Structure 1
Amino acid sequence: MWFIVIGVAMLVMNFLGIGPVGEWTWAEKWWVMLSPFGLALIWWWWSDASGRTTLKEMEKIDDKREARRQKNLELLGLNDKNKKKH
């Protein structure tokens, strides 16, 4: 995601003439301005190929499941914090 943000920022800066990026011409530095988008494609390919994307989704599901479980235990009064010591 950060590569896309950087690429869009560079394109906007070039279009509006802001900073050193605004001074670049397309003929000179087109590859520099478009390289963040290529890096984003490589990152997404690697993330999918390595299983990182699936792992992150599974972690989100597990976190939601645990939060729901803790909420239900709390509502039932079975949470460790609410247990009285004998």
Structure 2
Amino acid sequence: MYLLIAGLVLSLLKTMEFGVVAEWSWWWVLSPFAMAAAWWAWADYSGYTKRKAMEKMEQKKKNRIDKQREALGIKPKRPSR
């Protein structure tokens, strides 16, 4: 996400011919977009995206169970060390 934001800001600065970015080559200005595409390709290939999604789902499940236990008057389990 940060690479996309950087790419958008650099593109905007280049098109408005603002500051030192106006003198840069378009290859340098557009390079954050290429890096973002490479990051997404790696994240999908390595399973990083799926792993993060599963961790998020597990945390939601744990929070839901803790909330239901609390509603029943049962103390939530302590996190294991």
Q: Same fold (TM over 0.5)?
A: yes
How many pairs were matched up? 77
Matches within 5 A, 1:1-80: 1-21=1-21, 23-24=22-23, 29-80=25-76
Note the residue ranges of structure 2 that are not aligned, 5 or more in a row: none
| Separation in 1, partners of 2:76, 2:41 | 44
DSSP 3-state at the match of 1:79: coil
Alpha-carbon offset, residue 80 of structure 1: 4.8
Q: In 2 relative to 1, CA 33–80 (structure 1 residues): closer, same or farther, beyond 3 Å? A: closer
> Partner amino acid for 1:73?
R
> Partner amino acid for 2:9?
A
Note the residue ranges of structure 1 that are not aligned, 5 or more in a row: 82-86
- Deviating above 4 A after TM superposition, structure 1's stretches of 4 or more consecutive aligned residues are none
Specify the structure having the higher radius of gyration (Cα): 1
Identical positions, percent: 38
Alpha-carbon offset, residue 7 of structure 1: 0.2
Question: Structure 1 length as normaliser, TM-score?
Answer: 0.82
| Separation in 2, partners of 1:38, 1:18 | 22
Q: CA RMSD in A?
A: 1.6
